[in-house]
Structure 1
Amino acid sequence: MSTIDIEHASRWFGNVVAVNDVSVRIGPGVTGLLGPNGAGKSTLINMMGGFLAPSVGTVTLDGEQIWRNESIYRRMGIVPEREAMYDFLTGREFVLANAELHGLDDPGAAGARALATVEMEYAADRQISTYSKGMRQRVKMASALVHEPSVLLLDEPFNGMDPRQRMQLMELLRQMGAAGRTVLFSSHILEEVEQLAAHIEVIVAGRHAASGDFRRIRRLMTDRPHRYLIRSTDDRALAAALIADDSTAGIELDWSEKALRVQAIDFGRFTRELPRIARSHDIRLLTVSPSDESLESVFSYLVSA
């Protein structure tokens, strides 16, 4: 069983800070690295995979520095988000080349096992140039698994996969995690992480925002202040009634939208009290819509909390 330790790691490119003082431990099982696009997930995975050196801090695998340590690749498989394939090769040739680079005793048999694991035998002898995005993802996965690593790093592995392919890969990663391997995958989609990861690390704007199982992360997100755009038959009367309730912390009249902008600090109470207050004041609710439900706004709250 292997563990990756990231301690106070930062990485910057010129004046741009991509990862800022992150400390996390990735152990056996399936871990989801969750955050909006541009949050620094790929940079963090590249440091864990030895493609980038941390500007400050350390990134180690079982106590060994990863940067400029070729021996770690005997234990690690990497599936990058970017396409880095030779389209003129067949899938079998691509996986075989990686098996040979690892110096395996029987690279042909190892490649065949890896292709079978990702269910790509049927297209193994076709050129990669004919593959769909999902098929390319699976062949990259086979290439990363060919030496049966104890650690697997995947950057947005479900991009381009159809529902069936996604379910197959999820089941494979669950099996690997249950077998004691250390599996880390990044995603900006909450549902993917909820279905697969036993543990979640949240990254926002290069910073470590939260850590825990999905229930804890979902609770943190639900408990944050929520902003709503509300239109009604009497916005002034509704605003006066809502501002007196403990579930709200601020209400504005938005003249351009002809609506109220409400900040709810007690999500559960607000969802119960809003319809009750409207009924008691004989006010019809015409629009009730969240105005801050993007991943960026949700995760940014976790950073500042």
Structure 2
Amino acid sequence: MTALILDRVSRWFGNVVAVNDVTMTIGPGVTGLLGPNGAGKSTLINLMSGFLAPSSGSVTLDGTPVRGNEGTYRHIGLVPEREAMYDFLTGREFVVACSELHGLTDPAAAARRALGTVGMEFAQDRRISTYSKGMRQRVKMAAALVHDPSALLLDEPFNGMDPRQRMELMDVLRRMGEEGRTVLFSSHILEEVEQLAGHIEVVVAGRHAASGDFRRIRRLMTDRPHRYLIRSGDDRALAAALIADPSTAGIEVDTAEGVLRVQAVDFPRFTELLPRVAREHGIRLRTVSPSDESLESVFSYLVSA
């Protein structure tokens, strides 16, 4: 079970603090790394992969320091956002060269396997200079997978991919997570993170802002009312009964849409209150839907906090 652990990690460049006292553990499964532009996501990935040394704190892989440790590099695959590829090589030559750098016993077979995993066999003998952005992303992915790492770090891996390529890569990452590998990816497209990641880490202005399942994070935000859309057999009677309880801060009766828009300030109490009130008053609940429990809502609340 591979785990990357950051313990009070900071990294500064001159007077600029890119990462500030971050502690987090990235374990098996798929983790999404979120944050606004300039939040420190790429710096964190470079710290975890050993490309950058922390200014303070430690980054370890299963208890072993990552930076400058050849043994740990054998267990980490990296897909950087920036491209640093040899365009005069073919895709196959590039991935074979990467497998040789890892000292694999059969570089050609390893490259063939990695290219097959990302679906690039059809273009493996074309020069990288002729590749589209999405194809270049997939060859970078093959290079990161060629030594069969137990931890995979990806910085905006879906950039430039068409919808089909994106879904195929998602399937690869999901399968790796199910196999028990540690997969961390950053993305600015929240829908991708919501579909793929079972766990999220959020950084804002270089600091660690939240960790876990985004629904659990939302429920811990006790300073923000929970918003619900409710459809019932008698909206006005239900609204009158709910607003009398202190767990409910406000209700809008939207007659045009036929819904109640409810703000609940006490999540546990409200979830017990709603079915009880409906039962006592003989009101049928047709729809109860949280309207701000999406990853987009949670991310927006964290960034604006």
TM-score between both structures, scaled by the size of structure 2: 0.75
Between the aligned partners of 2:175 and 2:104, the Cα distance in structure 1 is 24
What residue number does 2:81 align with? 81
Summarize the Cα distance change of 1:125–1:223 in structure 2 as closer, same or farther, 3 Å threshold.
farther
- The structure 1 residue matched to 2:252, chosen from 242, 258, 273, is 273
Residues 234-292 of structure 1 show CA distances to partners (whole Å, capped at 9, x for unaligned) of xxxxxxxxxxx99xxxxxxxxxxxxxxxxxxx9x965x42757xxxxxxxxxxxxxxxx
Amino acid at match of 1:299: L
Offset, 1:213: 1.0
Match of 2:148, SS state, is: coil
Residues 48-91 of structure 1 show CA distances to partners (whole Å, capped at 9, x for unaligned) of 00011111111000101111112211111100000010111000
Summarize the Cα distance change of 1:220–1:120 in structure 2 as closer, same or farther, 3 Å threshold.
farther
- Does residue 176 (structure 1) correspond to residue 176 (structure 2)? The answer is yes
Offset, 1:225: 7.1
Summarize the Cα distance change of 1:8–1:179 in structure 2 as closer, same or farther, 3 Å threshold.
same
Bigger shift: 137-146 or 64-73? 64-73
Do 1:59 and 1:66's aligned partners in 2 also have CA atoms closer than 8 Å?
yes
The residue correspondences of 1:115-126 to structure 2 (distance < 5 A) are: 115-126=115-126
Between the aligned partners of 1:37 and 1:205, the Cα distance in structure 2 is 9
Between the aligned partners of 1:34 and 1:296, the Cα distance in structure 2 is 8
What residue number does 2:14 align with? 14
Match of 2:169, SS state, is: helix
Residues 100-130 of structure 1 show CA distances to partners (whole Å, capped at 9, x for unaligned) of 1111111001100000000000000000001
The residue correspondences of 1:1-305 to structure 2 (distance < 5 A) are: 1-219=1-219, 224=224, 272-273=251-252, 275=254, 298-301=301-304, 304=305
Summarize the Cα distance change of 1:218–1:139 in structure 2 as closer, same or farther, 3 Å threshold.
farther
CA RMSD of aligned residues (A): 2.5
Amino acid at match of 2:80: P
Summarize the Cα distance change of 1:52–1:274 in structure 2 as closer, same or farther, 3 Å threshold.
farther
Between the aligned partners of 1:192 and 1:61, the Cα distance in structure 2 is 26
Q: Percent identity?
A: 74
Do 1:79 and 1:153's aligned partners in 2 also have CA atoms closer than 8 Å?
yes
Match of 1:273, SS state, is: strand
Between the aligned partners of 1:13 and 1:295, the Cα distance in structure 2 is 30
Offset, 1:223: 7.0
Residues 188-221 of structure 1 show CA distances to partners (whole Å, capped at 9, x for unaligned) of 2211111000111011110100111132245568
Do 2:36 and 2:303's aligned partners in 1 also have CA atoms closer than 8 Å?
no
Offset, 1:299: 2.9
Gaps of 5+ in 2: 227-242, 256-295
Amino acid at match of 1:300: V
Match of 1:184, SS state, is: strand
Gaps of 5+ in 1: 227-244, 247-265, 277-292
Between the aligned partners of 2:214 and 2:303, the Cα distance in structure 1 is 17
Between the aligned partners of 2:129 and 2:159, the Cα distance in structure 1 is 18
Length, aligned pairs only: 248
Amino acid at match of 1:273: E
Do 2:111 and 2:146's aligned partners in 1 also have CA atoms closer than 8 Å?
yes
Between the aligned partners of 1:175 and 1:125, the Cα distance in structure 2 is 27
Residues 136-187 of structure 1 show CA distances to partners (whole Å, capped at 9, x for unaligned) of 0000000000010101000010111110000000010010000010100011
TM-score between both structures, scaled by the size of structure 1: 0.75
